[in-house]
Amino acid sequence: IQATGPERHFTGADLFSLEVAADPQISPDGSQVAYVRRSGDIMTDQFRSTIWLVDTRSSEQTPIAAGPGGHFSPRWSPDGSRLAYISSAEGGTTQIFVRWMESGEAVRLTNLPYAPGSIAWSPDGTRIAYSMLIPGESAGLGSAPDAPEGAEWADPLDVTTAVGYRADGQGYLRPGFNQIFVVPADGGTARQLSFGDYHHGGPLSWTPDGRAILFSGDLTPDWEMDPVEGEIYSLDVTTSAITPLTDRNGPDVNPVVSPDGRHIAWLGFDDQRRGYENVLLHVSDSDGSNQRVLTGALDRSINTAIWSANSRAVYVSYDDHGQTKVARVSLSGSITTVAEGLNGASLDRPYSGGSFSVARDGTLAITSGPATSPADIVLVRGSNRRQLTHLNDDLLGHKVMGEVRRMETASTFDGRPIESWLTLPPGHVEGQRHPLILEIHGGPFAAYGPHFSTDNQLYAAAGYAVLSVNPRGSTSYGTEFANLIHHAYPGNDYHDLMSAVDGVIAAGFADPDQLFVTGGSGGGVLTSWIVGNTNRFRAAATQKPVINWTTQALISDIPVFVANYWFGALPWEDQQSYWSRSPLSLVGNVETPTLVLVGGEDERTPVSEAEQYYMALRMEGVPTTLIRVPGASHGGLAARPSQSAAKASAILAWFDRYRNAPNDIME
């Protein structure tokens, strides 16, 4: 059959045409915004990062770095005359580049053996600081015989004594430590400033006199066993002497020195070994004295802190009811929201997020957009908002997307309001009921919101309504709500999710006989938990789940964290809790056909979690299929457009199989 016109619905192939704006950096005078544009590339099956400049008056765009390679982290020099960025434009290695804005000339500044990060201009614009991993020695044990000349032997043994020997997205880690360096901004030799067997972490912040750089890290011998701990340190640029500025049990990170040098702002909290803590904005005098919290009354977590040019306030971003906002926090602690509706760069699922920067006069550049389109660059001046880019109008302007509506239901467990967003199939007619997919977020301390989601739009284009719920445990509703699942996850969040589903049925949007459930990571845990507790869903798809908390606590890349913060005991000290909260403990109840899907290189919820569940379902005679996404990490399950589209298609094919099955087959 020949198509009779253009495809009006969102399709898997459209993923290659999507573009999303990230990391907007407004110039000090507010005249331009440099930003990272991530675009699908059909030949490499990737989202490629390029850097663009958009004029804040004319909205005219100019490419800064858009050729071969990846380009990111644009950072203005203090006077706005130059732009530094990180790029793999030349020869595949990742280097620091600087572009002189007036001449348009860009030069590669460094010749580094490893990728730099956290670039930061010195206040006088003469130097750029950065961090870089310096490889260390592998722990040796014994030795192999000597190889004859020309022989091709296997790799030597990989011996480790590290706690963090694997990391999602990186696999098995090569030993080494992050160190801080400085390089002249007009070219020259880089100099290492920090040393020793500790990570010296970014972001980096210079003092106005250019004599010191603030960083965060845990420079104590026990750093490996305390994954949350961190302090702010001052590093003398001349002598490399390090002075601690904070000292408490809990993370102190992201230091930023005020432009007048009188104060330091940073983020952190007192560690109480709870599943969730609000990250609070702190300030102190420049020597670390007179420390105080400025956002204690907000009851929200702070993501980013940027000083105002006059040093009297700090701009912060925070999540509230699934949406990211920017507020201006004065040194006396008054908090004024100055921008709302930020959107992040996550494309596959509607996670909250977004980034911003501030010009000298307080003009903001933010990433923002409606729930039916990925984030663009928006300029915010007081109450005026102006969208500077329209990256997806060419594609989505010709599509009928699923409309996203806010819903709220009282939980049957305790009456708490549970917020959710319902994506309706395109062309929805009031009064029409649809098959419903409950799609559950991970974290579990994270939040969904009214944000663009390729998964949800693909499901909606196939005729499903999709429900994105923030059950108890979700962030952006305060500490009490998040910690309702402290040492109790999964648990009563189940009732919140079912209440939200019933709310959508009661509101007349969903067919109660056509319910489906999926979710990833923490959402995979809850998907498997749901099918262990009810047969209300026709089919399920559990993505990158934790199935057995004992194995998760020992082989994931967050082992100490899971045991200390989510259980408060080691698996062999409290096997009852580990087992009773594992979806595997309920597998004997499962009758719902359940697809199991995982990234082949997932180090966060390792492949063996999904494999355990798949085999248990097979042994129980439950219809199931196992899908591994080759090469995909946990965070990168949807990183390749082809895999992201194929994943949604596989889930839809699984659901469609049971959507159309007669009821007697389902019984």
Ligand X SMILES: CSCC[C@H](NC=O)C(=O)N[C@@H](C)C(=O)O
Residue 106 or 632 with smaller CB distance to ligand X: 632
Shortest separation between residue 524's beta carbon and ligand X, angstroms: 8
Shortest separation between residue 540's beta carbon and ligand X, angstroms: 17
Binding mask 237-256 for ligand X (x = CB under 6 A): --------------------
**Which of 372, 605, 633, 644 contacts ligand X by CB under 6 A?**
605
CB 479 within 8 A of CB 299: yes
Residue 87 or 612 with smaller CB distance to ligand X: 612
Residue 250 or 443 with smaller CB distance to ligand X: 443
Is residue 226 packed enough to be buried (19+ CB in 10 Å), middle (13-18) or exposed (0-12)? Answer: middle
Instruction: Give the interface size with ligand X as a residue count (CB under 6 A).
Output: 11
Tokens of 508: 């007349």
Calculate the CA dihedral of residues 249, 255, 258, 261 and round it to 10 degrees: 80
Shortest separation between residue 523's beta carbon and ligand X, angstroms: 6
**Which of 634, 638, 644, 648 contacts ligand X by CB under 6 A?**
634
Residue 399 or 604 with smaller CB distance to ligand X: 604
Shortest separation between residue 518's beta carbon and ligand X, angstroms: 12
CB 602 within 8 A of CB 8: no
Phi, psi of 243 (to 5 degrees): -120, 120
Residue 613 or 658 with smaller CB distance to ligand X: 613
Tokens of 12: 């898997």
First to last CA, the chain: 37
Host H or E run for residue 515? strand 510-520
107 Cβ contact partners less than 8 Å away, ≥ 6 residues apart? 97, 98, 187
- Residue 199 touches ligand X, criterion: CB under 6 A: no
Shortest separation between residue 567's beta carbon and ligand X, angstroms: 12
Per DSSP, helices labelled H in 324-447 are: 393-396
How many C-beta neighbours within 10 Å does residue 395 have? 17
User: Rounded to an integer, what distance in angstroms lies between the CA atom of residue 22 and that of residue 301?
Assistant: 21
Shortest separation between residue 444's beta carbon and ligand X, angstroms: 6
Residue 483 or 521 with smaller CB distance to ligand X: 521
Shortest separation between residue 468's beta carbon and ligand X, angstroms: 12
CB 267 within 8 A of CB 283: no
CB 304 within 8 A of CB 253: no
One DSSP character per residue, 258-292 reads -TTSSEEEEEE------S----EEEEEETTS-S-E
User: Rounded to an integer, what distance in angstroms lies between the CA atom of residue 71 and that of residue 55?
Assistant: 20
Residues 487-526 that bind ligand X (CB under 6 A): 520-522, 525
One DSSP character per residue, 185-228 reads TTS---EE---SSS--EEEEEE-TTSSEEEEEE--STTGGG-TT
Shortest separation between residue 652's beta carbon and ligand X, angstroms: 19
Residue 304 or 521 with smaller CB distance to ligand X: 521
Shortest separation between residue 101's beta carbon and ligand X, angstroms: 37
Residues 144-173 that bind ligand X (CB under 6 A): none
Residue 460 or 526 with smaller CB distance to ligand X: 526
Residue 423 or 521 with smaller CB distance to ligand X: 521
Residue 214 or 584 with smaller CB distance to ligand X: 584
Shortest separation between residue 80's beta carbon and ligand X, angstroms: 36
How many C-beta neighbours within 10 Å does residue 179 have? 18
Residues 540-579 that bind ligand X (CB under 6 A): 546
Shortest separation between residue 324's beta carbon and ligand X, angstroms: 15
**Which of 9, 127, 300, 604 contacts ligand X by CB under 6 A?**
604
Cβ-closest position to ligand X: 442
Residue 173 or 335 with smaller CB distance to ligand X: 173
Residue 255 or 522 with smaller CB distance to ligand X: 522
User: Rounded to an integer, what distance in angstroms lies between the CA atom of residue 215 and that of residue 256?
Assistant: 9
Residues 411-470 that bind ligand X (CB under 6 A): 442-443, 446
Q: Residue 278, by phi and psi: left (phi above 0), alpha (psi -120 to 50) or beta?
A: beta
User: Rounded to an integer, what distance in angstroms lies between the CA atom of residue 111 and that of residue 603?
Assistant: 31
Residue 74 or 524 with smaller CB distance to ligand X: 524
Residues composing the chain: 667
Among the listed residues 56, 76, 58, 39, the one whose alpha carbon sits nearest the alpha carbon of residue 378: 56
Alpha-carbon torsion (10, 11, 12, 15), positive or negative: negative
User: Rounded to an integer, what distance in angstroms lies between the CA atom of residue 234 and that of residue 244?
Assistant: 6
Shortest separation between residue 606's beta carbon and ligand X, angstroms: 10
Shortest separation between residue 550's beta carbon and ligand X, angstroms: 13
Q: Which residues bind ligand X (CB under 6 A)?
A: 442-443, 446, 520-522, 525, 546, 604-605, 634
